[in-house]
């Protein structure tokens, strides 16, 4: 028996890069959380401790901050492509660099004043290899809710099944979605805005027999709308809202017809699904290491 | 020596009450986190275990949910007043009921579809006593940032002082603010909207020699604008954004003139302050048990 | 009408101070989270932006780190007293300095190797004024559970009460407790160890008719055991463990006699209480700004 | 162009199962967080909303709780195998069931009294398919620290490299490790205890030229010690402890020779690595959907 080093990667996670553009009195802000990692022929670092091929994670951090100035942040995808290309160039042993970005949106209060918007977070994961490059755009913490037009019935039952069938329930989720582009010549900001709009309008407009069906409709709508997107993957907690039982209260005429719910924390349903174009190019290592997806 | 029972209160914290108004096809949603507590003559429960005077926390929870229907949620203050009045009525041993509410905002996607807005959270703390009632309105997680017009200099120095003085820095905070109304006949929603607007515009419009000065200006503006508000209290972490040092990078012409910052997590400055009307009526127990304030 | 500046304080929160004692090959580690704040005559900073009396929070941070070496960390109380005394000395406008410390425990793996213990966190809050000094020792995140010998019955009922009475339930809490010493000449580590032991053994040994009764017994035991402690305050979430209903399962002979529970997140009961020695000296500002207590 | 449904799975996440064994006055407690999911031929639920093949996540939840009694929790692996086998049996459309368990340890205070231990969390991930079964044991939140015998030097440099080389630093990580067993006839508790002991003693006993080298040594030691383990995977944030710079303080003789550090939050290095036996049987879908690993 012998042991062998398996897959490995290393990098600097969660660099909180804030870029102010102040070329005019009307400033702009881009607020990012940037993580980088390198993969490749780093076996010596593991087996003998030799760091000669290792570009330090501290240098990766410095690169992420410097490129916010040197390249700028027109879009998270564009910025991540620049950082990834730089890292693989600077580190010959690397076979690929992965750059993951989360962007927090701000609303303007004045020329140099902003209030953080909250709500959903835009994401990008870019993998720059020696031969190919992959871009995943995405969104997380997108919390959506339909207060009706959602049912759940006709399901399989066994001796542990106690859930009643229902024709009317709240459907809510805190969506994580990522979609893979087939190329890199994309108007990233326009594509993102259109994608978010498509996902939201489809969620709102779809009668739901299960969260799975709603996610599938959302994925099909996105692929239908943007030919440059090869596939989309969802991770969707079913955020249960349980109707509160008023039957035990001794109050005349008090009813609860889908009006008062308790929002539960745990446990929660968790649905993961993919919708893919049937002629999509291979994903390669585009999804490697991205947590929370099938 | 003998031991005596000191101050005490008990209740049910963080009831996640979601109210859907569905009288027409165009639904409305109010999404609340409700905490209740009772104070008063509950010594027997502590010293002998006798629960005869104790309205269970489970009943308090039921009341919070039932009142979302019986009374409704026109505003968080109005709802909290109703729940507090009910609790003190139902529990003769209680001298006061405190109801704390956080409200999460949603934006409309369709007649029965919503997306959670994120950003700041509206709050209310209502204390209903036998003789007097207090209402605190407020906001939390209000993250604001000025990218210039902030200095910090002329401060006291000792042998551990290494901070350079600066004429230009980022000023950012995740604000918690609560303000006390002198009465209960208030258009709560209009007052809240106006208060938020005043706080934001003052933050944006004030040249800052310290976060303390900015907070003070915000407080004065609010008291000036709404005569029914007796005082305001702030808890404001100074969310440091440190200019990244590019001087060690071997790149010709690379400079960082207030353009690239690292947003730090810990430690953080923490400023707490109050601004009060000089003829404000006494606060009584309005602020009892509210964490995070002087 | 005029506005007046009310109470205020400022400081640096959550300095993560790690002290390694390496005078011999067998190292020691103290792992702290330190927050400092100053109160006093700082009105100018608020009203005119004049910082001449303000010892910067950055300097407070530097002091916290420097004193981990200059004074050392024999106990969190002792260290906090030294830092507080230094801060009030360095800042003439301050009327008092408050130093709050949390300590994370580590277990030894080797001469210079450690594994973080987890579990409860030891705390201290020291307030050093011009005339008097207060020390609060404490513990937080102390999660304890009794699997029987807990009842809840005989409580007040109204029309919203649906909770059945019970003779046997799980009693569990994640305790925060702080106790005030009457003096500062204390063997802090010995006192803390004895206090934790008293609290745990009393929790385990007390038949409970309500969480209130258990807390009261714990407080009395501590005051009985250590004459130098004037009072103790508790904040105790009632971490509900609900018996899972097996009655709907179609399995012969399957019962649940207090054997399988679901640990709930929210809502939770929240009990706050104090036990005080009847001849305790006044608390002064010992508890000012400490969140989560009556 | 047509769209196709890709990989998918669904289940109930984070069931907080607490099992009390009370056959004698001396109770036992097992405190679990259980997540289940099913994969297989569930396309109709996605494309047409037909739920006929779908065993509800609510039923999966009920099964997790019922099996804490019906099967018991001798070990997390053993319990997860039972739940997974049951789920795949109850749901003909499923090709595999995955059961993920986290276990929180408690220390005994008395016959029916316990205090939560904190610290590291034991984990298991079991995947039960129609033809094969995989078991991953593991640990998370294992925070370990060496206060010396760690260097980092000889690394690759570019124009953004500013990190000085060092012969002596703190090495600390909050380890997540999972290891795959080749079979299911294992004394799970004994194997886990031995694995934890091996990992800790190797961490403590290894001079480190990089975190990668330390992880590799830990992996090799485990595979060497337990022939029934095929591979181990690590996800290890490099929890940076930066030496605090005392040079700016105006205090005679004050030095910092590796004695006072600031524990940083973000960014952090992130190292992921695998060590595999060269004759390990294929992993199949053992690692599918496990987040945070290469």
Q: Among C76, C108, C131, give the residue marking a domain's end.
A: C131
Residue C293 has pLDDT above 70, yes or no: no
Residue A175 has pLDDT above 70, yes or no: yes
The pLDDT value recorded for residue A240 is 97
Residue C74 has pLDDT above 60, yes or no: yes
Residue A220 has pLDDT above 90, yes or no: yes
Q: How confident is the model at residue A189 (pLDDT cuts 50, 70, 90)?
A: very high
Query: Taking CB atoms and an 8 Å limit, are D118 and C120 in contact across chains?
Result: yes
In a domain, D2, yes or no: no
CATH classification at residue B119: 3.10.270.10
The pLDDT value recorded for residue C289 is 80
Average pLDDT over residues C58-87: 98
Residue D294 has pLDDT above 70, yes or no: no
Which positions of A are annotated as active-site residues?
A: 12, 57, 240
Q: Are residues C292 and C192 in the same domain?
A: yes
Distance from CA of D222 to the nearest CA of A (A): 10
Q: Are residues D262 and D195 in the same domain?
A: yes
Q: Does this model's pTM top 0.80?
A: yes
| DSSP secondary structure code for residue A209 in this structure | S
Query: Taking CB atoms and an 8 Å limit, are C294 and B16 in contact across chains?
Result: no
Query: Taking CB atoms and an 8 Å limit, are D55 and A156 in contact across chains?
Result: yes
The pLDDT value recorded for residue C157 is 98
Distance from CA of A202 to the nearest CA of B (A): 10
Number of domains chain A is built from: 2
Structural domain harbouring B71:
9-41+53-130
Contacts B163 to D, Cβ<8 Å: none
Q: Among B85, B100, B130, give the residue marking a domain's end.
A: B130
**Three-point CA angle C126, C132, C138, nearest 5°:** 25
> How many other CB atoms sit within 10 Å of the CB of residue A123?
24
The pLDDT value recorded for residue D165 is 97
Among B249, B251, B265, select the one facing D265 at the smallest CB separation.
Answer: B265
Of B285-289, C200-204, D118-122, minimum mean pLDDT range: B285-289
Q: Are residues A91 and A155 in the same domain?
A: no
A&C contacts, CB < 8 Å: 19
Query: Taking CB atoms and an 8 Å limit, are A248 and C159 in contact across chains?
Result: no
Contacts D246 to C, Cβ<8 Å: 65-66, 69
Active site residue D57: yes
Q: Are residues A164 and A116 in the same domain?
A: no
Contacts B220 to C, Cβ<8 Å: 3
Chain A interface, best mutation among D57, D89, D233, by max A CB count within 10 A: D57
d(CA D19, CA D36): 18
Average pLDDT over residues B19-43: 97
Residue A294 has pLDDT above 60, yes or no: no
Return the partners of chain D (3 or more C-beta pairs < 8 Å). A, B, C
The active-site residue out of B27, B57, B182, B216 is: B57
The pLDDT value recorded for residue A64 is 98
Residue of C nearest to A263 (CA): C266
Among C22, C170, C259, select the one facing D147 at the smallest CB separation.
Answer: C22
Active site residue D240: yes
Q: Are residues C127 and C147 in the same domain?
A: no
- Whether A210 and D49 have beta carbons less than 8 Å apart is answered as yes
Q: Are residues C56 and C145 in the same domain?
A: no
Query: Taking CB atoms and an 8 Å limit, are C162 and A248 in contact across chains?
Result: yes
In a domain, A3, yes or no: no
In a domain, A222, yes or no: yes
Q: Whose CA is closest to C224, among C202, C245, C246, C207?
A: C202
Residue of D nearest to C257 (CA): D22
Q: How confident is the model at residue C109 (pLDDT cuts 50, 70, 90)?
A: very high
Q: Are residues C82 and C191 in the same domain?
A: no
Query: Taking CB atoms and an 8 Å limit, are D248 and B162 in contact across chains?
Result: yes
Of A6-15, A244-253, C285-294, D237-246, minimum mean pLDDT range: C285-294
Q: How confident is the model at residue A99 (pLDDT cuts 50, 70, 90)?
A: very high
Average pLDDT, chain A: 97
CA distances for A106 relative to A76, B105, B145, C2, angstroms: 15, 17, 9, 35
The pLDDT value recorded for residue A157 is 98
Contacts B160 to D, Cβ<8 Å: 249-251
In a domain, A294, yes or no: no
Query: Above pLDDT 90, what percent of chain D?
Result: 97
Q: Tens of pLDDT along B80-121?
A: 999 999 999 999 999 999 999 999 999 999 999 999 999 999
- Whether B97 and B88 have beta carbons less than 8 Å apart is answered as yes
Distance of CA B218 to the CA centre of its chain: 15
Strand partners, B175: B142
Q: Are residues B74 and B185 in the same domain?
A: no
Q: Are residues B116 and B139 in the same domain?
A: no
Return the partners of chain A (3 or more C-beta pairs < 8 Å). B, C, D
Residue C7 contacts by C-beta under 8 Å, 6 or more apart in sequence?
B272, B273, B274, B294, C39
Q: Tens of pLDDT along D264-290?
A: 999 999 999 999 999 999 999 999 888
In a domain, D292, yes or no: no
Average pLDDT over residues A55-60: 98
Query: Taking CB atoms and an 8 Å limit, are C2 and B231 in contact across chains?
Result: no
Average pLDDT over residues A274-278: 96
Query: Taking CB atoms and an 8 Å limit, are B147 and A246 in contact across chains?
Result: no
The pLDDT value recorded for residue C241 is 98
The pLDDT value recorded for residue A290 is 83
In a domain, D1, yes or no: no
Residue of C nearest to D66 (CA): C246
Q: Are residues B114 and B151 in the same domain?
A: no
Q: Among B101, B130, B159, give the residue marking a domain's end.
A: B130
Q: Tens of pLDDT along A63-94?
A: 999 999 999 999 999 999 999 999 999 999 99
Query: Taking CB atoms and an 8 Å limit, are C266 and B213 in contact across chains?
Result: no
In a domain, D35, yes or no: yes
The pLDDT value recorded for residue C290 is 84
Q: Tens of pLDDT along C221-259?
A: 999 999 999 999 999 999 999 999 999 999 999 999 999
- Whether C147 and D22 have beta carbons less than 8 Å apart is answered as yes
Average pLDDT, chain D: 97
Q: Tens of pLDDT along A233-272?
A: 999 999 999 999 999 999 999 999 999 999 999 999 999 9
Q: Are residues C87 and C18 in the same domain?
A: yes
Residue A292 has pLDDT above 70, yes or no: no
Residue B292 has pLDDT above 70, yes or no: no
3-state SS string over chain C? CCEEEEEEEEEEEEEEEEEEECCCCCCEEEEEEEEEEEEECCHHHHHCCCCCCCCCHHHHHHHHHHHHHHCCCCCHHHHHHHHHHHHHHHCCCEEEEEEEEEEECEEEEECCEEEECCCCEEEEEEEEECCCEEEEEEEEEEEEEECCCECECCCCCCCCCCCCCECCCCEEEEEEEEEEECCCCCCHHHHHHHHHHHHHHHHHHCCECCHHHHHHHHHHHHHHHCCCEEEEEEEEEECCEEECCCCCCCCCCCCCCCCEEEECCCCEEEEEEEEEECCCCCCCCCCCCCCCCC
Q: Are residues B34 and B121 in the same domain?
A: yes
The residue behind tokens 């004759």 is D279
């Amino acid at each position: 028996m012998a042991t062998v080093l398996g897959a490995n990667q290393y990098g600097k996670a969660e660099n909180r890069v804030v870029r102010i553009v102040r070329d005019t009195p009307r400033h702009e802000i881009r607020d990012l959380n940037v993580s980088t990692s390198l993969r490749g022929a780093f076996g010596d670092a593991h087996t003998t401790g030799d760091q000669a091929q290792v570009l330090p994670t501290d240098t990766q951090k410095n690169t992420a901050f410097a490129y916010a100035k040197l390249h700028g942040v027109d879009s998270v995808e564009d910025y991540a492509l620049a950082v990834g290309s730089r890292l693989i160039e600077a580190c010959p042993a690397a076979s690929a660099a992965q750059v993951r970005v989360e962007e927090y949106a701000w609303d303007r209060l004045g020329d140099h004043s902003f209030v953080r918007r909250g709500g959903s977070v835009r994401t990008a994961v870019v993998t720059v290899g020696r031969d190919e490059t992959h871009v995943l755009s995405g969104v997380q913490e997108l919390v959506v809710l339909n207060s009706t037009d959602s049912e759940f019935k006709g399901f399989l039952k066994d001796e542990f099944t106690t859930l009643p069938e229902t024709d009317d329930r709240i459907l809510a989720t805190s969506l994580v979605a990522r979609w893979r582009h087939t190329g890199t010549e994309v108007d990233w900001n326009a594509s993102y805005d259109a994608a978010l709009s498509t996902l939201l309008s489809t969620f709102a407009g779809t009668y739901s027999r299960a969260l799975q069906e709603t996610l599938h409709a959302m994925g099909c709508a996105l692929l239908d709308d943007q030919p440059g997107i090869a596939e989309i993957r969802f991770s969707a907690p079913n955020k249960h809202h349980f109707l509160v039982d008023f039957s035990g209260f001794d109050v005349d005429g008090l009813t609860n017809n889908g009006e008062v719910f308790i929002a539960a924390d745990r446990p929660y349903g968790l649905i993961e699904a993919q919708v893919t174009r049937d002629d999509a190019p291979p994903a390669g290592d585009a999804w490697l290491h991205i947590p929370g997806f099938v």
